[in-house]
Chain A
Amino acid sequence: MSQRHILALFNNFKDAEAAIYELRAADIKGFNFDDLTLKSPIEHHEVEEILGQRSSKVQWFTLVGTLLGGLLGFFLISGAQANFYAQMKGGKPIVPFPPNFVLTYEMAILGGVCISILGFLICAGLPAKRSSLYSAKVSEDQIGVLVKADESAMAKIKGVLLNHEALEIQEEAGK
């Protein structure tokens, strides 16, 4: 069955929250709750909690980036120093750890930051083309609830959204 998208705009979080609650509780055939997306002008922990466990994986990117950055830093520097055997070291170690620690530390941070950003872009699905069901009012002061469902479920979903004082409903045929 073909799927469609529907975007409802709400005046406040309370109405949007109530609509999401009801959609979650209602057993609507052809609608999967995970296909519901909240669009808001600010981050809102409470509403996000209602959406259930949709965790972020950015921390893993951070961890990997930090480790890789540190390792890369250390081996890059040590590798360069090991190539300096032609230079007179005056009895000093070829790979001195104390100064290398400083540079390794900086590289670990740089790796952590850069890979975290990469992780953010991947996890947040950015950069992205703007969806056709988008209202500029979401970036101003309204809260959007975007639902993807089978065509047969649309009437019921629309009813729930309108019951909770949706200001406007936009529809689009899904792929």
Chain B
Amino acid sequence: MEKDIREDIAWAQINKDVLRSLEAPRPLYWVILLVALAMMGVAVGCEIYQYQTGIGVANMDNPHAWGLYISTFIFWIGMSHSGTLLSAILHLMHADWRKPIYRFAEAMTTFSLMTAGLFVMIHLGRLWQFYYSLPYPDERGLWPNFQSPLLWDAMAIFTYLSSSVIFLYVGMIPDLAICRDSIHEGWRKKLYSLLSLGWEGTDRQWRNFRVTYLMVACFLIPLAVSVHSIVAADFAMSQQPGWHVTSFPPYFVAGALYSGCSGIITLFIILRYVFKFEEYMTLSILKKIVRLTFAIAMVWTYLNAVEFASVWYSHDQPSKDVLIQKASGTYAPFWWGMIFCGSIVPLAMAFKRVQTNIPVLFAVSLLVNLGMWLERWMIVAPTFSHGIYPWTWDHDQWPSFVQWGIVFGSFGWFVLLFMVFCKVFPSVSMYEVKEMVYHRSLHLKKSETAGRGAH
């Protein structure tokens, strides 16, 4: 059986390999960066175009008040759950195979949340209008409505983003000290010296570090669950057909973990190649993530079925009509696309040969995330198009190129932030990989000694 990591990698070699990623990635890195910039340029262009022409070009109307933006907001919030799963949940379970890959998953969490936050502003039209929606009592008489799930959402996302940034940073301090000690001059040296806070790896520092990391990990798990439950509450607490469903919170959380895991597979494959991390991001670790993703895919499929069944047997006619309209109306190709990409495509992950086949997995992970994006769109748009009152129905509204362009650009924005992060900060945790190698080599020695004793 292939190992998660070689036990005989020298610690100095681990430093060397990871620090190399800060200097000389493969040329594909620059291609990805340029493509991401171009994608972001599309979004900026669309934004400027709508300011110059008028917000109407985004083709948002009543009842389609949220358009693609809120669907994409939910999608990015979902992606952020990957970091919590790998860092916090697997940390508490002592699954040490997470160690070479959790850092980039945590970075994914942070940048996904930053991208999601953008959509809250973008969906208002003119970005600066966001100022007027800030919930605080002021002379304009805008009162915050604490009973609104939208306000809970703002608070939950703020807490999640702050905690994720803190978690990412604190977990990186020992590695920043390695960077400080290994890089001898320039702005990087200054940056790492400042951020490493004078870390020297003393027993006092490690002891407190361990406890703090554990504490924050314990907080992040319920926090992540609460964030996506609250996003679900944005819908489920309303009386709209198709949204007022009891199973929405667990359904949203499962969906978030699912798309997050799938995102990890995509980025795992990219980073492994671009930064030459083949020694650390091994096929054995990839196999474990794939199996985890498959399990979550099945949970998501089940919860999807539960949602349909609850609507079907609820005898709530408007909700039933929305479900029928999803499966057979204007949105049918996308709804069936969601079922195909979210529930059928992941079945490929059940096959051993696929679990380590990088090109196939890359395609599967992208398709799964396409399905998960469609899922969010299929939650938002059909209900708006087919509400309780027939005179508000609008089945033919189609998002304009401005909406599509901004959504497309958000992927560029995310990739840009992520790739810049990976070039400036170590995307593989050096000290944790050393721990992994150390403990595994000790274990190996013990088993060899025990084996010799038995003979």
Contact = CB atoms under 8 A, between A and B. Distances in A.
Note whether A and B form a binding pair.
Answer: yes
Interface in A97-120: 99-100, 102-103, 105-107, 109-110, 112-114, 116-117, 119-120
B200 A103 contact: no
Contacts of B204: 37, 54, 123-125
- Please classify how large the interface on chain A is, using the bins under 10, 10 to 19, 20 to 34, 35 or more: 35 or more
Given A106-B152, A126-B197, A120 B212 contact: yes
Contact of B15 (A39, A84, A140): A140
B204 to A, nearest CB: 6
B360 interface: no
Interface residues of A, dominant DSSP = helix
A125 B177 CA distance: 15
B449 to A, nearest CB: 14
A126 B198 contact: yes
- Please classify how large the interface on chain B is, using the bins under 10, 10 to 19, 20 to 34, 35 or more: 35 or more
Contacts of B12: 140-141
24 contacts: A37-B204, A39-B201, A43-B210, A56-B211, A81-B146, A83-B137, A99-B146, A103-B155, A105-B226, A112-B215, A113-B159, A113-B162, A113-B166, A116-B212, A117-B166, A117-B170, A120-B211, A123-B204, A124-B208, A126-B198, A139-B178, A139-B182, A140-B15, A140-B181
Contacts of B408: none
B435 interface: yes
Most chain A Cβ neighbours within 10 Å, of B200, B204, B211: B200
Contact of A124 (B11, B148, B205): B205
Contact of A141 (B10, B147, B148): B10
A156 B198 CA distance: 30
B299 interface: no
Nearest to B181: A136
List the 5 closest A-B pairs by CB distance, nearest first: A141-B11, A136-B181, A128-B198, A120-B212, A127-B197
A75 to B, nearest CB: 13
Contacts of B159: 106-107, 109-110, 113
A107 B152 CA distance: 11
B163 interface: yes
B139 interface: no
